[in-house]
Amino acid sequence: MKKNIFNYLVLVLLFIFCLTGCEDQPVVKEDTFVTNIRFSCPNFPLKLNSRNILPPEGNLDTDHFSLVANGPKGQSINKSSINENTLELKSLNKGDWTFTAKALNQFGKVLAIGTKTVNLSQSNQIVELEINTLPGHGNLSINFTWDSSQIDLNDNNCNLKINLKNQEGNEIDANLENINYKEGKALLTHTLVSGSYTINVILQYENEDLAGATEAIRIIENTTSNGIINLSLGLITSNFTIINSTGTPILGHITSVPQDETSTLLTFVPQELPSNISLDKLEYQWYNQGKAMSNETSSSCYIFPSSGIQRYDVIVSTPQIGSIGGATITVSYPME
């Protein structure tokens, strides 16, 4: 009886020893191990300023990650809210795994996606997963404004040109809506692939550049990037010179020099001429007794007066308006 009791006690002690000795030892499956996933995500946030048209504030900030993974023997993982850049996964089967991660903002919108296939083993347990693909489409909405009170703008003399390009420099076909040059406004709406863009806009007046602007644009999936571009019309200036095309009457006197018994030379001698008028610019017309003398259009004139008193006039002009002047002389000969 005592021997049976002793044997019983030994069995109980052995059982207790086994329980206490195995309490902290994990059960490890063959061909399974622990894997660390590290997420690498580009820095999406941009400072809001007058040169960027972005989604509403907060939309570009990465709030959390999601992960879907598929591996050998039908093993899969699906985690929808990961708040750190690293994740530890336990008991993964050895072999090829495909990991797909998403970076999401606080509103659950996908900012970027990354996919990687890795052969996991005891010697390859760390996965660097780069999230660098921009998914989906988003919307762009830009209001253009300008102060049309400075100049009379209308459909006939104005043109608003836009040039929208993606990050690769390829031009995107986009059309303006609701253009009203007189009221100074226009609208551009367009659906774009997620990514970065630049827009250049020029307002032309009578084929001359009047105002312009260039801004950067960021588009993310299922979100509208709104912006206002105010085109500042530069003061329309031109260099000009006031040219006084008016003149004062050409003043002077007529000299009379007898040449022989029958002829006399009359000559117009001007007073000081304006600085912009030279002698070769003067035009003449001689008159005798109020009648124009044929072919007498130079500064001197030969006359052959008969007996008596004759009046001679010369009218002098220049290309300047208001510059016509003249002089008079009376020539007398003894009566026979």
pLDDT digits (tens, 9 = 90+) for 188-220: 999 999 888 988 888 888 888 888 888 888 888
Superfamily the domain 31-130 falls into: Carboxypeptidase-like, regulatory domain (2.60.40.1120)
Q: How confident is the model at residue 290 (pLDDT cuts 50, 70, 90)?
A: confident
Average pLDDT over residues 245-267: 82
Q: For the chain, give every domain's residue range.
A: 31-130, 137-231, 252-333
Phi, psi dihedrals of residue 42, rounded to the nearest 5°: -65, 160
Average pLDDT over residues 117-125: 85
Q: Which residues contact 330 (CB under 8 A, 6 or more apart)?
A: 309, 310, 311, 312
Q: What is the mean pLDDT of the chain?
A: 79
Is it true that domain 137-231 has CATH number 2.60.40.10?
yes
Buried b (16+ CB within 10 A) or exposed e, 175-209: eeeebebeebebebbbebebeebbbebbbebeeee
Looking at 28-32, 286-290, 300-304, which range is the least confident one? 28-32
Report whether pLDDT(20) > 50. no
Q: State the pLDDT at residue 249.
A: 75
Q: State the pLDDT at residue 10.
A: 42
Would you say 316 and 296 are in contact if contact means Cβ atoms under 8 Å apart?
no
- Judged on CB neighbours under 10 Å (0-12, 13-18, 19+), 100 is middle
- Percentage of the chain exceeding pLDDT 90: 21
- Judged on CB neighbours under 10 Å (0-12, 13-18, 19+), 118 is buried
The CATH classification of domain 252-333, taken from the options 3.40.605.10, 1.10.3720.10, 3.20.20.70, 2.60.40.10? 2.60.40.10
Same fold, 137-231 and 252-333: yes
* Closest among 172, 136, 184, 143 to 53, alpha carbons compared: 143
Considering only residues 67 and 20, tell me which one the structure prediction assigns the higher pLDDT.
67
Distance CA 160, CA 174 (A): 13
Looking at 21-25, 52-56, 265-269, 317-321, which range is the least confident one? 21-25
User: What's the pTM value of the predicted model, to 2 decimals?
Assistant: 0.56
Q: State the pLDDT at residue 239.
A: 54
Would you say 76 and 6 are in contact if contact means Cβ atoms under 8 Å apart?
no
Distance CA 38, CA 238 (A): 63
Average pLDDT over residues 316-329: 77
Average pLDDT over residues 75-97: 88
Q: State the pLDDT at residue 100.
A: 93
Average pLDDT over residues 136-142: 93
Q: State the pLDDT at residue 269.
A: 92
Return the bridge partners of 283, or none.
317
Return the bridge partners of 101, or none.
67, 114
Phi, psi dihedrals of residue 241, rounded to the nearest 5°: -125, 135
